[in-house]
Amino acid sequence: MTLETVSTSKAHGGTQGVYRHASSATGTPMTFSVYVPAHDPGERLPVLWYLSGLTCTHANVTEKGEYRAACAEHRVIFIAPDTSPRGDGVPDAEGYDFGQGAGFYLDATQAPWSANFRMRTYVEDELPALIAAEFPMADMTRQSITGHSMGGHGALTIGLRNPDRFRSVSAFAPIASAMRCSWGEKALTGYLGTNLAAWRVHDACALIADGARLSELLVDQGDADGFLDQLKPELLREACAAAGIPLTLRMQPGYDHSYYFISTFLPDHIAWHAERLQA
């Protein structure tokens, strides 16, 4: 896997890079960003994955997330992949909630999406292998994951499916139950078909009901978020309570769904993950 450096910039003593490679999972070029704090030769730092939401690319959090000072302070590498395959020949659809920009972090089984929309394999397998090969300072034995909205859905479901890989899991305004909101129903039907059993591994609440567990979970949600009817944090609260998963769900007064919200609380999440990653 040949890695192309798109750009690098010094920030808070470390390096903010943007990179591109040819993905075998998606059959397309994929772009992602990595912030690496200053470190000594041979030193290895823990990794925090950030999964973005509908319509976003790596650039949204990279440019608006305001995470670098916290990552530099706590010495955490921050990785932000794209949300879907893109480009000529990649299928797309009208609307923002399906097709390019809306991969939902799953492997599609339905034509024409199945040829390229394999974001589960990309995020769970291919990109981590590339990071391990190309960023020797990344300690892949110490990983955590977070995300926003559709990316919060991705962080929760990937974390629940891989509890031994991630030391901690958090989310910002996540889609709590993809099976019980119109965004998720549209995506799961279009990408996976109508077999509801295949949907359950892509629904955080269903995974918890089916026995998946986390040691704890941190979620921030704005109470002025215009998408609360899609996100349904109360379903996550109920699922965690029933399963005995310690959930810290912070309903933040007056905050919406934007990066003004995310950038306000992302440093808190980085500090929270860092404590668990450094242990």
The residues pairing with 16 across neighbouring beta strands, listed in sequence order, are 9, 35
233 CB burial (10 A radius; 0-12, 13-18, 19+): buried
- Output b/e per residue, 190-210; b: 16+ Cβ within 10 A: bbbeeeeeebbbbbbbbbbee
Q: Among residues 202, 257, 269, 273, which one is catalytic?
A: 257
Dist. CA 223–CA 251, nearest whole Å: 6
Q: Among residues 52, 149, 168, 170, which one is catalytic?
A: 149
- In 125-194, alpha helices (H): 127-134, 150-161, 182-192
The upper half-sphere exposure of residue 82, i.e. CA atoms within 13 Å in the direction of its Cβ, equals: 23
The reply to whether 153 belongs to the active site is no
Dist. CA 28–CA 21, nearest whole Å: 8
Query: Among residues 176, 258, 180, 255, which one has the least CA distance to residue 221?
Result: 255
Residue with tokens 């959090």: 61
Residue with tokens 């990309």: 122
The reply to whether 257 belongs to the active site is yes
Residue 81's H or E segment, with its range, is strand 77-81
Q: Among residues 203, 225, 269, 273, which one is catalytic?
A: 225
The reply to whether 225 belongs to the active site is yes
Residue 32's H or E segment, with its range, is strand 29-36
Which residues participate in catalysis according to the annotation? 149, 225, 257
